[in-house]
Amino acid sequence: MTSTSGLEGIVATTSAVSSIIDDTLTYAGYNIDDLAENASFEEVVYLLWHQKLPNVDQLNEIKKQLAENAKIPQQVIDHFKTYPINNVHPMAALRTAVSLLGLFDDEADVMDTEANYRKAIRLQAQLPTVVSTFARIRKGLDPVEPRTDLSMAANFLFTLTAQEPNEVAVEAMNKALVLHADHELNASTFTARVCVATLSDVYSGITAAIGALKGPLHGGANEAVMKMLTEIGKVENAESYINEKLNNKEKIMGFGHRVYRQGDPRAKHLKEMSEKLSKITGESKWYEISTKVEELVTAQKPLPPNVDFYSASMYHSLGIDHDLFTPIFAVSRVSGWLAHILEQYDNNRLIRPRAEYVGPDKQIYIPLELRG
């Protein structure tokens, strides 16, 4: 029995949700470029959960269900108020809140297909509100109730800022939500599938997935990118900063990918949006540092930017706090996690691989008092 480091190249399941073939990403067969240019996030949620695009009635129905379920229980809001607020990362708050939401859902442990779909709607609807509510409470601000007449992208920004966002901000947020929604068997999705394959509940699966997304080798990279851009500070510093990192064999956040070799097809859309927003805000510095970093890294290494690289400067231009970048990733990716969870339940088998044992062999038990 031999192991494969990081399970690289191992095909661990079948899935009809999304695919990455020859560096092309599709959701249920639809190319991500097409979806990024044309689809609303609500359409993508439907697509991932049903593996077909909704017609007008189906889209209106899912929008209505999502809008009607966007409020979060007062107990979750009150819980936030008990946190040691300066020490709590919003991803930790989100992870805890999702677990808590399960306590207030009468159907949390009901395992039939319809109940699981209803939970999917509730989680998808509530996650944005959880993130924006926590973001406000930690600043001493009152939560803003989600509106039923706004898209998910607009509502997220509205509940975060208490102001109706402009058209470009909504376009940027919608694009980010569409682009982050699913990505085959990435680490957090695999985590969700492993969890629910024990026939554990949807809340447990999503809580586990949030924990996996939080790390800087996965979703946490977008916040780490902004930290790097801030440390670089100005375009002129980029070269020495990047050279030092590469010489020290340190990783440049937002670059590289386990599956893509030629590049992440999502990055160009975020780059475009980052540039557009930087022109509107008049603060082009972060976009310029980003393009300089891309030029420097790709000149030295076959490491193109991934989805996390340009999303950082884009979210910054939207005025979003840097530690909310990864929670926003979760607001989108919960759609993919839920699609995979529903698919896993539909045709379940326990996921239980093997480990190649590399420890000592044939040990003899020594009584405690004789051990050195």
Ligand X SMILES: CC(=O)SCCNC(=O)CCNC(=O)[C@H](O)C(C)(C)COP(=O)(O)OP(=O)(O)OC[C@H]1O[C@@H](n2cnc3c(N)ncnc32)[C@H](O)[C@@H]1OP(=O)(O)O
Catalytically active residues are: 257, 308
- Rank residues 18 and 161 by Cβ distance to ligand X and give the closer one: 18
The single residue among 52, 147, 234, 258 that binds ligand OAA, judged by CB under 6 A, is 258
**320: contact with ligand OAA by CB under 6 A:** no
Q: Under the phi-then-psi rule, with left for phi > 0, alpha for psi from -120 to 50, and beta for the rest, what region is 237?
A: alpha
Q: Which does 251 bind (CB under 5 to 8 A by kind): ligand OAA, ligand X, none?
A: ligand X
Q: What are phi and psi of 200, to 5 degrees?
A: -75, 170
- Rank residues 258 and 279 by Cβ distance to ligand X and give the closer one: 258
Q: What is the DSSP code (8-state) at residue 64?
A: H
Cross-strand pairs, 128? none
> Residue 174: helix, strand or coil by DSSP?
helix
**217: contact with ligand X by CB under 6 A:** yes
Q: Binding to ligand OAA (CB under 6 A): which residues in 164-223?
A: 183, 186
Q: Which does 255 bind (CB under 5 to 8 A by kind): ligand OAA, ligand X, none?
A: ligand X
Task: Give the separation between CA 32 and CA 6, rounded to whole angstroms.
Answer: 26
CB-based contact 186:159 (threshold 8 Å):
no
Enumerate residues 6+ apart whose C-beta is below 8 A from 9. Answer: none
- Burial class (CB within 10 angstroms; exposed 0-12, middle 13-18, buried 19+) of 365: exposed
Shortest Cβ distance from residue 38 to ligand X (Å)? 23
> Residue 22: helix, strand or coil by DSSP?
coil
Question: Which span (32-40, 41-49, 53-61, 250-258) binds ligand X, by CB under 6 A?
Answer: 250-258
Question: Which span (149-157, 216-224, 319-327, 337-345) binds ligand X, by CB under 6 A?
Answer: 216-224
Q: What angle do CA 337, 341, 342 make, to 5 degrees?
A: 120
Count of chain residues binding ligand OAA (CB under 6 A) = 6
Going by C-alpha positions, the residue among 96, 120, 163 that lies closest to residue 334 is: 120
Q: Which does 221 bind (CB under 5 to 8 A by kind): ligand X, ligand OAA, none?
A: ligand X
**308: contact with ligand X by CB under 6 A:** yes
The single residue among 307, 331, 334, 342 that binds ligand OAA, judged by CB under 6 A, is 307
Shortest Cβ distance from residue 30 to ligand X (Å)? 20
The single residue among 54, 146, 165, 254 that binds ligand X, judged by CB under 6 A, is 254
Q: Binding to ligand OAA (CB under 6 A): which residues in 336-365?
A: none
- What is the torsional sign of CA 26, 31, 33, 38? negative
Q: Which does 253 bind (CB under 5 to 8 A by kind): ligand X, ligand OAA, none?
A: ligand X
DSSP string, 200-265: --HHHHHHHHHHHHTSTTTTTHHHHHHHHHHHH-SGGGHHHHHHHHHHTTPPPTTB--SS-SS--T
The single residue among 70, 157, 210, 252 that binds ligand X, judged by CB under 6 A, is 252
**253: contact with ligand X by CB under 6 A:** yes
Interacting residues with ligand X (CB under 6 A): 6, 217-219, 221, 251-258, 303, 306-308
Q: What residues make contact with ligand OAA under the rule CB under 6 A?
A: 183, 186, 258-259, 306-307
